[in-house]
Amino acid sequence: MTERSGLRRKIWVAFILQAATISFAAVLGVYGASAVLKHVLIQRALQEEAEHFWARRDRDPQAQIPDTYNMSSYLVPVASAAGSLPEPLRELAPGFHGLPRSQGGSLVLVEDRGGERLFLLFKQEQVDSLAFWFGMAPLALVLIVVYVIAWGTYRTSKRAVSPMIWLANQVKRWDPDHPDVDVIRPDRLPSDVTGETLTLASSLHEFGSRLGRFVERERLFTRDASHELRTPLTVIRVAGDMMAADATLSPMSRRALVRIQNAGRDMEALIEAFLILAREGDTGLPDLDFPVSEIVLEEVDKARTMLGDKPVELVLEQKADFGLHAPPRVLSVLVGNLLRNACHYTDRGRIVATIEHGRIGISDTGVGMSQEELARVFEPFQRGGDGKKDGQGIGLSIVRRLSERYGWPVTLESQPGHGTLATIRFPGASRLQS
């Protein structure tokens, strides 16, 4: 969170919008008050002045027409009104009128009574002056007070959220693999970090410390497991190879030995996959530039030993080759799981691994899967066919997780009794130079 786009900016924008809204409402209110002053109060004053004059006129026919600093008037016979009046007033009918500023800008009341026409004119300049002194001047004072209060409130709010912003910036700088939680240790917090912010900082410090210990345990486990788990598997594999060289083994013992070797290879592949997936982000394996065909050919050779005496042909069709920049072992685990899955569910027929540019396809003539099975096949412990086949049911789950981590989408197409086609696509594939 940066100051420009973070909490301080949001508070600043909120106060600016608040001040602008108040200003707009105040100006609108004063404008409305000015309109009322012009079109209601002055009209009423002119009507009352006219009534007062007519009343005086009834008492004293010689009563003088109103003539003050703000108001002037004319009294003429209705029949000859046009001849003795200023030009702007000659065409005015009884009622209220407003003259344009080029013609004096006065507010005019015209009344007829007893054959006489009375014109009362209130000076527009006086109206504007009154509107200013009784509207705009107080408005300006009110707006100044509002702005001062808003600025003071903003400064107070800014100081109130500063500890939270400081805490957010410290957490933002954390390295996920090595979070520096000591910087928010309670005894090292700034003095203004109090209340809810102090509680949050203490909770984050405790959480970060536990996270650091967890990451360290995970790192130690994967380091030790990668060594300790491979050691007994190596012993099993070497012992199995030595036993396989014994020509005196009975057919039953040799079949049992093949099962042991296959199970050992499956376990080795599972351990390799689990160790890769256990590392968040960094697999611990170097990224290398390599041709895909080498990895696929190696995995095809390994998979042939799983077929045993099944009447199944396993072939590699290389229509093109391409390169990747990634850990080769990851592709080995991914392709190896798909090939083992094909060998496991194919009892007769053919398994074909096809390499095209940016694509690896593995098709088989096995038991296949229904649409319902395909929808769940990438879930852990799901097995196709009749469910009676041996296996853990996690191979395709591992394939999906690895493909998502490296951006290599995997799709499956299958029909019951007609086999399955697994396709891996590589958007970042590069052409190999001949």
Instruction: Look at 203-207, 313-317, 389-393 and tell me which has the smallest mean pLDDT.
Output: 389-393
pLDDT at 413 over 90: yes
CA 31 – CA 25 distance, rounded (Å)? 10
Task: Give me the number of domains the chain comprises.
Answer: 2
pLDDT at 281 over 60: no
CATH number at residue 308: 3.30.565.10
pLDDT at 205 over 90: no
* ∠ Cα 166 169 173 (to 5°): 145
Domain range spanning residue 21? Answer: 7-129
Question: 370, 384 in Cβ contact below 8 A?
Answer: no
Token output for 167 = 């805490």
Residue 236 in any domain: the answer is no
CA 272 – CA 330 distance, rounded (Å)? 9
pLDDT at 236 over 50: yes
Residue 190 in any domain: the answer is no
Residue 319 in any domain: the answer is yes
In 114-153, the DSSP E strands lie at 116-122
Q: Which of 102, 129, 156 is the last residue of a domain?
A: 129
In this prediction, residue 3 carries a pLDDT of: 46
CA 146 – CA 144 distance, rounded (Å)? 5
The confidence band for 256, taking pLDDT boundaries of 50, 70 and 90, is confident
pLDDT at 194 over 90: no
Q: Which segment, 5-9, 130-134, 328-332, is predicted with the most confidence on average?
A: 328-332
More confident residue, 336 or 395: 336
Residue 118 in any domain: the answer is yes
Q: At how many degrees (to 10) do helices 195-228 and 251-278 cross?
A: 150
Residue 389 in any domain: the answer is yes
The confidence band for 322, taking pLDDT boundaries of 50, 70 and 90, is very high
Mean pLDDT over residues 4-31, rounded? 74
Q: Which residue in 321, 318, 320 sits closest to 354, CA to CA?
A: 318
Question: 392, 285 in Cβ contact below 8 A?
Answer: no
Sign of CA dihedral 28, 29, 32, 37: negative
Whole-number mean pLDDT of the chain? 80
CA distances from 163 to 151, 183, 192, 200 (A): 20, 14, 7, 11
Residue 199 in any domain: the answer is no
Residue 340 in any domain: the answer is yes
The confidence band for 422, taking pLDDT boundaries of 50, 70 and 90, is very high
Q: Which of 109, 129, 149 is the last residue of a domain?
A: 129
Q: Which of 76, 98, 129 is the last residue of a domain?
A: 129
Question: 314, 307 in Cβ contact below 8 A?
Answer: yes
Residue 399 in any domain: the answer is yes
